[in-house]
């Protein structure tokens, strides 16, 4: 199988594509891949180290206000479509897969115009602009949330989950909290605001520090690399020092292994986070970001809350008291925590990559017919 993958802008679009590639390789060791990303997205830092062939296109998003920049956006899109056709003609893929981002719009649209099978994957509960644009011409559509199916042409979308879930579920963790000077026989709460950190979560942590210092459970706070020094400075100014049961880190580079040893997590509600949390059956306190399209993180989080797998704390209500109260619910009530872990596992789809792979095969077969 020859596959072109395209998704860009954020890790939420890139990691599912790379996870899918791993699954395809498991089924078809001879499979060949080409990843087409944007010039400005983080994919340029993420994809090449995997060894996958990688090409870049220049694209940009639309401005929500009337702007001359939108004329340039259209010009870049049309140019990217033309370049994509050349890339596709040279690579000769059996299928083209788009996982979101403006660059995927150009690549998948070009494939559709060339009558090549295409599959798009929507990771969030609210469909992105690119996937809505591509939906009509897509051969098949995979979604990670049931609620997203209704946002696509009737009968076209299939619930497959997020391939990142299968990738995480297959990791055999040997991580020990002892590497951080903590204990493996105590429940540990991981507070993680994303790879860059979340200021609102960090401020709530500072307010909660005195309370966390007195808890029997352990707390690991990941501030984000650029926000670590500021958190440390604010704590010092208030005369607060983390106790022996608390650790503050700028970043964790082996997150899936750490998650496997985590009793509960405080997190944003992005698609990748939800996939990882449910794949591992981790009870969670979700704090949806206010700065995302269509408020999709709130809808992502609500799907877990409705299933009894998570608690939600809206960002406007987040402070030290609400954070500690939610943490105590999960870490001090073993019955509730176990119930939520079980429900999270039910929501998770540890075979999501296999499901999406089967959808690809179906799309290829449909085009042949």
Is 297 annotated as ligand-binding? yes
DSSP lists the bridge partners of residue 188 as 218
Is 11 annotated as ligand-binding? yes
Q: Are 217 and 328 in contact (CB under 8 A)?
A: no
Q: Strand 246-249's sheet: what is its strand order?
A: 246-249, 218-222, 188-192, 264-267, 284-286, 310-312
Distance CA 33, CA 21 (A): 8
Reported residue count of the chain is 369
DSSP lists the bridge partners of residue 246 as 219
Is 194 annotated as ligand-binding? no
Q: Which two tokens stand for residue 24?
A: 């395809």
Query: Which helix (H) or strand (E) segment is 76 a member of?
Result: helix 69-91
Is 12 annotated as ligand-binding? yes
Q: What's the Cα-to-Cα distance from 326 to each of 183, 193, 229, 264, 319, rounded to whole Å?
A: 22, 16, 26, 11, 11
Q: Quickly tell me which residue has 């929500």 as its tokens.
A: 64
Residue-wise DSSP of 221-277 = EE--TTTHHHHHHHHHHTT----TTEEEES--S-HHHHHTT-SEEEE---HHHHHHH
Question: What does the angle CA 321 – CA 347 – CA 153 come to, to the nearest 5 degrees?
Answer: 115
Q: Quickly tell me which residue has 């209500």 as its tokens.
A: 317
Angle, helices 334-347/271-280, rounded to nearest 10 degrees: 110
Distance CA 100, CA 15 (A): 11
Terminal CA-CA length for the chain: 17
Is 201 annotated as ligand-binding? no
Question: What does the angle CA 31 – CA 34 – CA 36 come to, to the nearest 5 degrees?
Answer: 155
Q: Which two tokens stand for residue 237?
A: 């100014």
Beta strand 157-159 with 2-6 is unpaired
Residue stretches of the annotated binding site for UDP-N-acetyl-alpha-D-glucosamine = 10-12, 124, 195, 252, 297
Question: Which residues line the annotated binding site?
Answer: 10-12, 124, 195, 252, 297
């Amino acid at each position: 199988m020859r596959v072109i993958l395209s998704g860009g802008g954020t890790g939420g679009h890139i990691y599912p594509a790379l996870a899918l590639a791993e699954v395809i390789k498991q089924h078809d060791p001879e499979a060949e891949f080409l990843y087409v990303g944007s010039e400005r997205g983080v994919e340029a830092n993420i994809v090449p180290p995997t060894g996958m062939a990688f090409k870049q296109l220049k694209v940009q998003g639309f401005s929500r206000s009337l702007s001359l920049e939108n004329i340039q956006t259209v010009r870049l899109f049309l140019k990217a479509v033309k370049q994509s056709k050349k890339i596709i003609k040279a690579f000769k893929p059996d299928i083209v897969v788009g996982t979101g981002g403006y660059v995927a719009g150009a690549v998948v649209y070009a494939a559709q115009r060339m009558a090549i099978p295409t599959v798009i994957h929507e990771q969030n509960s609210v469909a992105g602009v690119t996937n809505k644009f591509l939906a009509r011409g897509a051969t098949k559509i995979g979604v990670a949330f049931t609620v997203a199916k209704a946002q696509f042409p009737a009968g076209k979308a299939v619930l497959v989950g997020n391939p990142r879930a299968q990738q995480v579920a297959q990791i055999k963790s040997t991580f020990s909290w002892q590497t951080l000077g903590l204990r493996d026989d105590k429940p540990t709460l991981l507070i993680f605001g994303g790879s860059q950190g979340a200021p609102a979560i960090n401020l709530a942590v500072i307010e909660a520090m005195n309370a966390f210092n007195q808890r029997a459970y352990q707390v690991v706070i990941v501030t984000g690399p650029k926000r670590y020094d500021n958190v440390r400075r604010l704590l010092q100014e208030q005369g607060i020092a983390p106790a022996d049961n608390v650790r503050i880190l700028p970043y964790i580079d082996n997150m899936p292994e750490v998650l496997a040893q985590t009793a509960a997590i405080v997190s944003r509600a992005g698609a990748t986070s939800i996939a990882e949390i449910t794949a591992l059956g981790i009870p969670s306190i979700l704090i949806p970001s206010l700065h995302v399209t269509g408020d999709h993180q709130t809808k992502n989080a609500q799907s877990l809350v409705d299933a009894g797998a998570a608690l939600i704390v809206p960002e406007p209500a987040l402070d030290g008291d609400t954070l500690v109260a939610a943490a105590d619910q999960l870490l001090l009530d073993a019955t509730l925590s176990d119930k939520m872990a079980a429900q999270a596992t039910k929501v998770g789809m540890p075979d999501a990559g296999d499901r999406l792979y089967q959808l690809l095969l179906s799309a290829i077969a449909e085009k042949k017919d």
